[in-house]
């Protein structure tokens, strides 16, 4: 269930950031209200995620995926520039998130093995 919560947190964070751009510096009421609502929802779901996942893993995925998705929205919807440097930076974010996940799984397996050894 924590993965569903994390996906919802990411989607609401992306919706909030998109609304932030659309709010035009809080000059447009509806996007401004949606921005606040979406960020509240995102933080609520992120908080629920933290009941089951380590904060370092959950936050890395939340922020990394948010950066990737909002960058794609910026390229496609807001016609922001695409450069090799931006693509490399996004690739590094993906590599970092994957590495953190592998590290977290390895540490969880190591902790589980250590616990089993101590209970024998």
* Token pair of 91 as six digits: 């690739």
Angle at 88 between CA 84 and CA 92, to 5 degrees: 170
pLDDT > 70 in the chain, percent: 86
| Count of domains for the chain | 1
* Token pair of 104 as six digits: 């977290």
Provide the angle, in degrees to the nearest 10, between the axes of the packed helices 2-22 and 55-76. 40
**Cα–Cα nearest to 8, from 78, 74, 61:** 61
* Token pair of 110 as six digits: 């190591």
**Cα–Cα nearest to 62, from 49, 73, 75:** 49
Report the C-alpha gap between 19 and 44 in whole angstroms. Answer: 18
Q: Which residues span the domain enclosing 112? A: 2-119
- Tell me the pTM: 0.78
Tell me the per-residue pLDDT of 35-67, one tens digit each, with 9 for 90 and over.
Answer: 999 999 999 999 999 999 988 889 888 988 998
The confidence band for 99, taking pLDDT boundaries of 50, 70 and 90, is confident
């Amino acid at each position: 269930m924590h993965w569903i919560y994390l996906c919802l947190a990411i989607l609401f964070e992306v919706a909030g950031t998109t609304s932030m751009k659309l709010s035009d510096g809080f000059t447009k009421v509806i996007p401004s209200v949606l921005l606040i609502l979406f960020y509240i929802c995102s933080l609520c779901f992120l908080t629920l995620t933290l009941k089951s996942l380590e904060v370092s893993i959950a936050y890395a995925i939340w922020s990394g995926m948010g950066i990737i998705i909002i960058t794609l929205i910026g390229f496609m919807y807001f016609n922001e520039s695409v450069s090799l440097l931006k693509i490399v930076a996004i690739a590094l974010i993906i590599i970092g998130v994957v590495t953190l996940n592998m590290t977290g799984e390895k540490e969880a397996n190591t902790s589980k093995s250590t616990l089993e050894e101590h209970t024998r």
